[in-house]
Amino acid sequence: MATAEEQATTFKNEGNKAFASHDWLAAIDLYTKAIELNPNEPAYYSNRAQAYFRRAVAYTAILKSRDALKDFKTVVKKAPNDKDAKLKLAECEKIVRRVEFFRAIEVEDAPSAAEGLDLDSMVVDDDYDGVRLGTEMTTEFITDMLERFKNGKKIHKKYVYQIVIAVTKIVHEEATMVEMEIPDDAKLTVCGDTHGQFFDLMELFRLSGLPSEKHYYLFNGDFVDRGSWSTEIALLLYAYKWLRPSSFYINRGNHETDDMNRVYGFEGECKAKYNERVFKLFSESFSALPLATLVGNKYLVLHGGLFSDDKITLDDIRKLNRHNQRQPGQSGLMMEMLWTDPQPEPGRGPSKRGVGMQFGPDVTKRFCENNGLEAIIRSHEVRMEGYEEEHDGRCITVFSAPKYCDSTENKGAYIDIGPDYKLKFHKFDAVPHPNIKPMASWALSML
């Protein structure tokens, strides 16, 4: 019969396995059992504290702020000399105050931020030195806007209002899953997360070419937050969407949501560069964005990944009324489309993020076969080479923010798809940008 110390070691080893698979709750439980059997082993306490810490970080990322706060307090209590835990606790307390403040002032069924906005009577001063925008988007305006953004300038707030309102109307009328074909004389470029890294997006356009009648684009969510130029990217993508509504596509990502924007920088950036109304207009537009794009009946492009139920089909996505649910919440089809991730092991497992789940190669294989797809294309995660083909090539991740947040030495990537529907992967490096740090810490300090 095993001794108490041997049984404790077994629980510790099982806890390590749970920790490695991001099952923080199981890891905490197993380390606690090890401590109960052998309270004199310091490693068990430190392992449990790390499990609490990792779970707290996961809760923070998905804005379960109260749960995160509880775990950080536990870590600080059990490891009072852990400076990182103390710092995270202080940040988490700010998040809790901020989230609860906005929940307290939110009004259900509030009128649109566009209500009462009289664009016709809004005057652009004579000293505005940029190209003027009329009732339709033009290539000339976009070219001028690009140069202004490169030089640290803004466009007039009237034009911001016009762009966001026009695009909200366009995308609201699109299907939850847009279905498109690539013409014989055209190509489609699929881009992943850009996260406010405007100058890296300019490098992507330099390498791949600007959107045109024959060069379609699809941006697969998470174009705002974290980086310092989220408004510039959002306005640029929206301007192209207004100019080319039938050949420029935008999917919603998990960062095109209110709670994420309030914590990870976009709301604060909108208010600093323009005003609160601009953020509210963008928020309404994000809720109207499609959740997926079906390319040639071969590739399903969506931000996160697949589903907790094998019975989900493309028809279920088609039928999903995204307008009835402005924010994705913590469960359901919309949440899974925005939040899930692939894993190498078969089956499904707990999410390392703490929301959604992870899906294995067998899940991807069944989904593709049941729906007649060659592969799914998703984003949502950093890949060191900018992209990765997983699950026997049926799950493809593309990430377009090189040197993510100025701290990860990853490349960016994009995918070209021609009329033959063959995938061509392109990698690119980050380029220099003005010395402005990512905005997450600024957003946390706003309250």
DSSP-based three-state secondary structure for 226: coil
Task: List the structure tokens of 290.
Answer: 């499609």
- Backbone φ and ψ of 300, nearest 5°: -95, 120
Instruction: Report d(CA 388, CA 266) in Å as an integer.
Output: 28
pLDDT at residue 216, rounded to an integer: 98
Kindly report the pTM of this predicted structure. Answer: 0.82
Pairing of strands 357-359, 348-350: antiparallel
101 and 145, same domain (yes or no):
no
97 and 145 fall within a common domain: no
User: For the residues of 173-211, what is the DSSP string, one character each?
Assistant: TS-SEEEE---TT-EEEEE-B-TT-HHHHHHHHHHH---
100 plus 147 within the same structural domain: no
Q: Give yes or no: residues 80 and 204 share one domain.
A: no
Q: At 364, list the tokens.
A: 């991807």
* pLDDT number for residue 445: 40
My answer on whether 198 and 318 are in the same domain is yes
Structure tokens at 189: 């470029």
**CA angle at residue 412 from 411 to 417, to 5 degrees?**
135
The reply to whether 325 and 372 lie within a common domain is: yes
Residue 269 main-chain phi, psi, to 5 deg: -65, -45
In a domain, 222, yes or no: yes
Would 233 be classed as within a structural domain? yes
In a domain, 120, yes or no: no
Both 234 and 297 in one domain: the answer is yes
Q: Measure the CA–CA gap between 112 and 167, rounded to whole angstroms.
A: 15
Active-site residue flag, 255: yes
> 125 in a domain, yes or no?
no
* pLDDT given at position 62: 55
Query: How do residues 400-428 score in pLDDT, each as one tens digit?
Result: 999 999 989 999 999 999 999 999 999 99
By the 8 A CB rule, do 176 and 295 touch?
A: no
- 156, 172, 195, 255: the catalytic one is 255
Asked whether residue 118 is assigned to any structural domain, the reply reads: no
Could you tell me the residue range of the domain that residue 162 belongs to? 139-444
Residues 158 and 300 in one domain: yes
**Judgement on whether residues 62 and 10 belong to the same structural domain of the protein:** yes
Residues 88 and 199 in one domain: no
152 lies in the same domain as 84: no
Q: Please report whether residue 115 resides in a domain.
A: no
CA distance 171 to 193: 19
Total domains in the chain come to 2
Domain presence at residue 114? no
The CATH number of residue 267's host domain is 3.60.21.10
Flag residues of the chain having pLDDT under 70.
21-22, 24, 53-65, 84-85, 88, 91-92, 95-109, 439-447
The beta strand positions in 2-121, using DSSP E, are none
Proportion of the chain in helix, strand, coil states, percent, rounded to 5: 45, 15, 40
